Amino acid sequence: MDRTPSLTGSEDCTDSSSNCSVPDTPANWSPNVVGEHYSIPMDEIALQPVMRADLPLGGSREGRISHSVRRQIRNVCCIGAGYVGGPTAAMIALHNPHIRVTVVDRDERRVRAWNSRHLPIHEPGLSDVVRAARDGLRPGVDGTGRADASNDESSTRAPNLFFSTACAETIAEADVVMISVNTPTKRRGQGAGRATDMTAFEGATRDVATHSRRGCIIVEKSTVPCKTGQLINNITQQHRPELDFPVLSNPEFLSEGTAIKDLMRPDRVIIGCETTPSGTAAAEALADLYASWVPRERIVTNNIWSAELCKLTANAMLAQRISSINSISAICERTGADVGEIAKSIGLDRRIGPQFLKAGLGFGGSCFRKDIASLTYLAESLGLPEVAAYWEQVLTMNNYQRDRFALNVVAKLNNSLRGKKITILGYAFKKDTGDARESPALDVVRILLEEGPKSIAIFDPLCSEADIRYELSALPAADAQDIVKVCADPYEACEDSSAVLVLTDWDMFKLQARPAPVKAQPVDSPMIARFSPSTPAELLHLPQRSKQTPPTTDRGAVVVGSLPEEILARLQPQAECGTGCEECLLVSKSMGSKQRQEAMDWSRVATLVRQPKMLFDGRNVLDAAGMDALGFRLETLGRASTI
Ligand code: NAI
């Protein structure tokens, strides 16, 4: 199905005669439409009365115009269909059914995946949100499967989320462009290893400057160095000196693995703007988009530099807590103190709180390391070497933690891995994501490879073999790809192993009283994702429309992806993949989704591994007493060694 958006937009988004292509009615159903409205001074910026049906006209504030006005947003373009762009755009579309949201990316394959039944990223609940917004919802059906006569128009919605490679055309008709492209660390040249590589961001900004229409709001969604707003202004000035484009900073705080929950109920939405009338009006327009589902008091407006810097600061502070507790774990191992008990004790202090105090292998993923590196570089460039050194230490401690974990494995295996097979359970940097980027597991593999093991078997329930192999290609060992085997079956990975290393906190690795089968409906992604039972009450706000309870697993967790029957019946049927679909082939070849997420049977693992059944828990997820009972010799970070 061709999902390329039509190109009928006018030149100016503030023009009430705009012929912007908006979703066809009926589009009235959204999870939660909030009708809050406000006014802004007429003389400050070209404005027009509110046209949206869900936003009532009327109301005024002293000194402001007599009827409610706002900058009208009908088309949103999001550049970058990645971990941030895709889910964020889907959430905005879901909650703003009258607005057309188009995600563009240069990567054709990624766009194709977003338009297919195999989304390119795995996030619990993402598929439901995308399907509802991308495909629309049909009216409900009655018990016999016929259209339910009691369902009115308001229970349906038209598609308003699109994925496309038509970057220039989509930008040209957008009222708001959100730049969500990758901003990795520079690999070469000035600042290599620390400074942010702004190549993709600069390219996207040039595209916006070239193709956007007058008044288009440019939003920094990517994590960028402080003062990037100035870079955007410089670029737009070079390309379109006659026009003024309001620039906003709207950093994203979602975490992979919980992206949908985070987007659905954000702690805060930060919007940084220039303190000009057009900047303020643009910030208010963006706030309107979020206010469709985020309480107004959680939408915070800052000056643009604060907004840019607060994202780097938030990640640096979170990472700092991890490094802090990990530094204590090293002391615990030498003293007999238990880092778990310490974390619990200090976490009870409300000034400290319990979050991010779990000792383990350290942080990974595409954000923490590069954002701290960026902060360090920023401090240094500003002539603040002490500040740079302070944050640098967070990274140093993180590297130290993973190195000492891997070196301890080698030491406990008598300083020789020759002829030995090592098993790695979990490659992703955290549970519930298939993102293989910047995983601490890669450094562990690197150190193990230096010792010349016979083989290293990796099992991860979500990371694909291709992604893991791509990451391995960065390792110096020429034989890395031959020595490492990526297994689809955890028991195959453990067979004949001299040491099993748990490197991701996947729930399936936790010791269960008995292996609990997951009662799940088949889903399109190879993963069955689970939320806490409370989540579906918010997710899509569907249960309030449903008399049925969503399916649950044996342990009471609700299976996201298996919505109540009545809602499933309202999702549009997904187009079949063509014959030879690589993803379908992969799913059919690999273990079923059920098996991949089943709790590990550790008693079975105990029969497969070599004596003395060495087990290294890099995430402190295993139950020491239970593992001991199964005959494992468990080594844990932050507790004195018993081996
Ligand atoms: P990603 O690498 O998954 O996606 C970026 C996408 O942008 C790619 O698909 C790429 O093809 C596309 N792209 C690059 N230049 C383009 C251009 N000129 N035109 C069209 N498409 C273009 O990156 P991810 O993880 O989504 O991160 C995006 C930004 O969000 C980064 O700055 C990151 O630091 C930040 N962020 C990431 C979070 C995460 O958990 N991944 C969380 C919060 C922020």
Say how many C-beta atoms besides its own lie within 10 A of residue 55's C-beta. 20
The annotation status of 253 as a binding-site residue, yes or no, is yes
User: pLDDT tens across 484-530, in order?
Assistant: 999 999 999 999 999 999 999 999 999 765 544 444 433 333 333 33
User: Poorest-confidence range of 327-331, 414-418, 598-602?
Assistant: 598-602
pLDDT at 126: 93
What is the predicted pLDDT for the residue at 105? 98
Sole residue written with tokens 């994702």:
529
What pLDDT was estimated at residue 578?
76
Closest-lying ligand 1 atom to the alpha carbon of residue 200: 15
Over residues 174-198, the mean pLDDT reads 97
Contact assessment for residue 366 and residue 435, using Cβ atoms and an 8 Å cutoff: yes
What is the per-residue pLDDT for 154?
52
Cα of 405 from ligand 1 centre, angstroms: 31
Q: Is 360 annotated as a binding residue?
A: yes
User: Could you tell me which residues are beta bridge partners of residue 100?
Assistant: 75
CA 256 to ligand 1: nearest atom: 40
Q: How confident is the model at residue 588 (pLDDT cuts 50, 70, 90)?
A: low
User: Atom 3, ligand 1: which residue's CA is nearest?
Assistant: 82
Report the mean per-residue pLDDT for the chain.
82
Nearest CA owner, ligand 1 atom 21: 105
Would you place residue 213 in the very low, low, confident or very high pLDDT band (cuts 50, 70, 90)?
very high
Asked whether residue 639 is marked as a ligand-binding residue, the answer is no
Specify the pLDDT at position 329: 97
Pocket lined around ligand 1, Cβ cut-off 6 Å: 79-85, 104-107, 110, 167, 180-183, 200, 203-204, 207, 222-223, 252, 254, 256, 366-367
Determine which one of 216, 367, 487, 494 is catalytic: 367
**Cα–chain-centroid distance for residue 563?**
22
pLDDT: which is higher, 607 or 9: 607
Question: Which among 256, 167, 272, 317 has a CA at the least distance from the CA of 463?
Answer: 256
Whether pLDDT at 614 is above 70: yes
Protein residue with its CA nearest to atom 42 in ligand 1: 254
Share above pLDDT 70 across residues of the chain, in percent, rounded to a whole number = 75
Token pair listed for 426: 């979990």
The whole-number pLDDT of residue 235 equals 97
What is the average pLDDT across 70-96? 93
Average pLDDT score over residue span 573-580: 79
> What domains can you pick out in the chain, each with its CATH number?
75-141+157-294 (3.40.50.720), 315-511+594-636 (3.40.50.720)
pTM for this entry: 0.82
Tell me whether residue 581 is one of the annotated catalytic residues.
no
- Is pLDDT of 31 > 70? no
3-state secondary structure 538-556: HHHHCHHHCCCCCCECCCC
